[in-house]
Structures are given as C-alpha cells and as structure tokens.
Structure 1
Amino acid sequence: MKEAPIIVSACLAGMYCRYNGDIQPHETIVELVSQGQAIPFCPEVHGGLSTPRAPCEIREGKVIDSDGIDRTEAFQRGAEQGLRLARLVGSREAVLKARSPSCGSGEVYDGTFTSTRIPGDGFFARLLKENGFTIRTEEDLPE
C-alpha cells in the first residue's frame, strides 16, 4: 500500500503564493512534490487572499495585515480547506513555512511588524496539530 503524501506549504514548492510575490523554493520540498510524496497547499490563497498581499501577523488571536485590516476569516477558511485536503488524501504529516501566520509551528511574529518572534502557531499549523498531525518546518529539513 502506498504511503499517504504529506502536505507542504506551496511557497516552499516554489509556487507563486508568498505574500510579497517572491518565489523561494526549498529543494527538498520541490523533490518531494516531484516524486508524488507531497502535496503543495497555500492556506492564504485558498482562504481567498491575493498574491501579492500585505504582510500579516497574529495579534491577540486575530490575523491583522500591515494596513490594520483583519484577515482572520480568510486565514481560518484557508486552514479549514487545508485540513479537508489533508484528510482527503490520508495525510497525517505536514512541512510548513516557519513563522508564517498560517503555517508557523512553535514560533510566529508578534503582530507588531518589527520581526519580533514569540512562541505560537499559525492558524493552519494549529488546526492540523489539534487534529493529530505531525508538523515540521522547512528549517527541520536538510537543504
């Protein structure tokens, strides 16, 4: 029986979805996707946000962009869509973008847009963890 694919942040696979429009693929992730061992997913795009978009950070349990607009609903919707996809393909593991307000695991930015890091999880990472998934970031992988 074939092992279930893992879910990976689409930006790490080199897809055009980062908030600033940059493409920064992680070679290990690109290889996993090309071998059919991983499925790329961007909760922010699937939640309805555009690329590029204003940077967002989590502040007091809400996702706020650098213009002060509350983007929580889009982040929540994207996280729920990602969980549906992961369940559909039988995945139990994800490799997600470090410190992202969607995908960060264990550490995120503090909502002040000063690059200050605090303990915490992004919306997608938290939802996956709450549903028993194993989460790693690209920083846990070999280059």
Structure 2
Amino acid sequence: MIIVSSCLCGINCRYDGSNNLDTRVLKLLNEGKALPVCPEQLGGLATPREPCEILNGSGLDVIEGKATIIGAKNNDITSSFLKGAYETLKIAEGIGATTAILKARSPSCGVSKIYDGTFSSTLRPGNGVAAELLLSKGIKVFTEEDLEDIKL
C-alpha cells in the first residue's frame, strides 16, 4: 500500500482550498493501491489556511527543534505540522506502507526542495516535515514530479 498526498487525489485540502490533482495518483487510489493523507489537516489546520514555510532549516531541523514553520502572517504553527507528520507516520505504519507519493515543495510533503521561509518563491534544499519523518522510518518518499522515474 502507498500513502499519497490527498491534494494529489483531487481533494480540496491545499492551503488555499484547492487541490493538485494528478491523474496518475488518482488512478492508484481508484485501483485500491493508495490511501490519501493530508499531514496539515491531520495536524489540525483548517482548509483554507494561510500559506506556510519552514524558517531557518528543513523538516529535519523542525523535528530536532532547530527550525520553525511560520505562516505568511508570521505566526508559529510548528506544533501543528509536527502533529500532522506523526499522525501521517502512524497511518503509514498502520497500513504497512513502504512508499509515499507526496506534494512537491510543500513544508509538510516536499522532497529534496522546499520553499526557504521568505515567501518569495525561493527554493532551498531539504524535505518537508512529514516527508523527513517517513524517510527516517525507511519509507521511500517521492513527489508527483518523480512518478516517471519510479516503478509502482
């Protein structure tokens, strides 16, 4: 079983209330091969919500208490992102997921590149909080941008 970002299945859970439908991911869901999760909603954040970015680090730094996640209005919402990441991990372990397909560049789900915390659309190296936590537990994590390169 694969866990996938809910927004990639067409569920309107993005920060702005929309989705990032990817028909390849939706096909996995329709075939019963995937379970959708939204770490941000699992952390208790509403939809819609203000955009968020990791300030001064990456998902690993957030997990280690060295960085924070801030909203565009400069409020600290780190605890919600951490809660959502751990809830996502609990679901992944509960269904025996070995693979995740998550939304690129997200402060929760991004893999390899995330926004830098300045809300200027500048990318930096790093993973989102949920992606980092899943990787640390041996779950292979990809984004929708990697689907051409992986075999499912």
* TM-score bucket (shorter structure): over 0.9
Q: 1:9 aligns with which of 5, 25, 32?
A: 5
Counterpart-to-counterpart distance in 2, 1:72 and 1:116? 20
- Runs of at least 4 residues of structure 1 off by over 6 A? none
TM-score, normalised with respect to structure 1: 0.95
For structure 2, the residue ranges without an aligned partner over 5 or more in a row are: 57-66
Q: 2:27 aligns with which of 25, 31, 44?
A: 31
For structure 1, the residue ranges without an aligned partner over 5 or more in a row are: none
Question: Does 1:106 find its partner at 2:102?
Answer: no
Per-residue CA distance 1:1-20 (angstroms, 9 max, x = gap) = xxxx1010000001110001
Which residue in 2 is equivalent to 1:132?
138
Question: Does 1:22 find its partner at 2:18?
Answer: yes
Question: Does 1:52 find its partner at 2:58?
Answer: no
Which residue in 2 is equivalent to 1:93?
99
CA RMSD of the aligned region, Å? 0.7
Q: 1:82 aligns with which of 85, 88, 93?
A: 88
Counterpart-to-counterpart distance in 1, 2:19 and 2:88? 21
Give the length in aligned residue pairs.
138
Q: Give the residue type in structure 1 aligned to 2:100.
A: A
TM-score, normalised with respect to structure 2: 0.89
Counterpart-to-counterpart distance in 1, 2:48 and 2:75? 15
Which residue in 1 is equivalent to 2:36?
40
Instruction: Calculate percent identity across the aligned residue pairs.
Output: 48
Counterpart-to-counterpart distance in 2, 1:127 and 1:141? 21
Displacement, 1:23? 2.4
Q: Give the residue type in structure 1 aligned to 2:27.
A: E
Counterpart-to-counterpart distance in 2, 1:114 and 1:136? 24
Displacement, 1:56? 0.1
